[in-house]
Structures are given as C-alpha cells and as structure tokens.
Chains A and B, each alone.
Chain A
C-alpha cells in the first residue's frame, strides 16, 4: 500500500491498521466456521488421544506401583486416583458446558452451542464415576455405601442437573432452540458448583476435606500428588478428545445441506 521512498503519513498508517483489523475479523470468522473446525478437529484428535493414553498410562503406573500405601487407609486409598480426578472433571465439564452455553446465548455461535451440548453426556459419565467410586471407597472406610452428607448430596444434584440438561435438550426438536433452553438451565445450575466445592467447609461432613487445593502447601505427599495430577490431566485430554469427536459428528449432521459436506462425502466414497 505504501509508496516507495516516502515515509508513510499517519493517515496511511491508520488505514493499514484498519486493514489488519479486518483481516483479523475474517480470520476469526474462519476459525469459527464449522467447515474449518471440522478439519482442524480431525487433525487434532489423534494427537490428543495419544497424549491422553500417555498421561493415563503414566498415572496408572505411578498410582498403582510407585505411590506407597497410606498410613491410615492402607491400599484402599488408591481409589483416589480415579475418584478425585473424576469428581474434578464432573465440575470442570459442567463449568465448560455452562460457559459455552452462555457464549452461545450471547453471540449466537453455533460451535459453542454444539460444544455445550456434547459436554453433557461426558460430564454425566464422570459424575456417575465419581459417585460410584466414592461409594466403593466409603464402604470400607466409613462402613456405609452412601450418606446424605453435603458433599455427596450436592454431587448427586450435579448428576441430576446433567440428566435434566440432556432431557430438556432432547425434548425440543429444533437444535438451536434446544441449545438455548438447555443453556439457561445449565447457567442456573452453576450455583451448585461452589456448593460442591465448599460443602466440606460449610457443613460438618463425613467426607474428608480437600488436600490438594488447600491454600498454601497441599497436605499430600508428592509421590501421591503426581499420579493424581497425571490422571486428572489424562481425564481432561480424554474429555477434549471425545468432545471433538462428538462435535465432528454433529457438524456433519447439521451441515448436511451444504456443498462442502456433499463434497467431503463424495471424496471419501
């Protein structure tokens, strides 16, 4: 744009600035377009899956073979390496789902809508896993499979929130309206997340208090913390891998009327 040999005038500079802004806008549009995302997700998935496998194998190795037995709970505490990451995921995925739902509500972005919708079944699975492994840990340690204690009850409510979300989404035929309605439900349910987190402090519970997220030094030995973090990271990447796979399926379904989907299917058959 600039003329050679001349110093650019402020006006020209600002016009270039404008152009850069326009390019950025075009790029944003490109990244949020379902076609681009479909391809990108397809390229990312195998790498994320490999990373997931690596993290989970390392986590299992350190958790089952390297970490010592607990001085109070013996070998039974090894359930922690499934239970705590699963419980963290149940909350993390819920926040992702509500956050993506909010973004979809405000800016009407289809991709976020699809992401939110696909969080629910995976989040519900992790909540189920956290509840059942908690029960399997509670029986030998507390002598009971279940107690109506604040932590357990609020986690059970989280499970019902996921179920309600999925039921609501399935009950409305138009996917865009379904996404809007369920996003509002998810946002209302967000209040339950801090309740779960602080339940062990706010109420007298049977459940043991937090050991990792304590302010200051975590009261857990590094040999036990390492597998816990490895498993959590593994679960996180697992969630993103599965969410991308689900989103790719949904993009194809929703975009079936477009030419790029037709071309894609023709090129593969």
Chain B
C-alpha cells in the first residue's frame, strides 16, 4: 500500500479522515481545557491568598 492510496482510503478518504481528525480535535481540546483551567485557578488562588493576608 503506497501513501496516496492510504490517503485515498478507497474513495472514502474524506469521511475517514474527517472522523479521525475530529477525534484528534476532541481529545486535544479536552486535554487543553483542564490545563488552561489549572493556570487560571493557580493565579486566582494566589490573588485570593494575597487578599486574605492583607485583610488580616
């Protein structure tokens, strides 16, 4: 099996690769969201603890 045949997928290339591409997108997005959230939470917590120190 050569490369262009592989991409062609017997004429179903569009359907097969859209499915795999979308799967990749969904997996990456669900990984990215908690990583971004982690950054935000850390930043907010530092802020929160700083304010708590000040008001004490």
A interface residues, Cβ below 8 angstroms from B: 64, 69, 74-76, 78-79, 82-83, 86, 121-122, 125-126, 128-129, 132-133, 136-137, 139-140, 238, 242, 245-246, 248-249, 252-253, 256, 261-262, 265, 269
Contacts and interface: CB of A to CB of B under 8 A. Distances in A.
For chain B, give the interface size range.
20 to 34
Q: 8 tightest CB-CB pairs across the interface, nearest first?
A: A75-B10, A76-B12, A245-B34, A75-B9, A133-B19, A74-B10, A79-B19, A82-B23
B34 A249 contact: yes
A83 B26 contact: no
A142 B9 CA distance: 18
A140 B15 contact: yes
A125 B9 contact: no
B56 interface: no
Interface in B1-56: 6, 9-12, 15-16, 18-20, 22-23, 26-27, 29-31, 33-35, 37-38, 41-42, 44-46, 48-49
B38 to A, nearest CB: 5
28 contacts: A74-B11, A74-B12, A75-B10, A75-B11, A75-B12, A76-B12, A76-B16, A78-B9, A79-B15, A82-B22, A121-B33, A122-B30, A129-B22, A129-B23, A129-B26, A139-B15, A140-B12, A140-B15, A242-B30, A245-B34, A245-B35, A249-B34, A249-B37, A253-B44, A256-B48, A261-B45, A265-B42, A269-B46
Contacts of A129: 22-23, 26
Nearest to A265: B45
Given A78-B9, A121-B30, A245-B34, A136 B15 contact: yes
Given A69-B10, A78-B16, A125 B23 contact: no
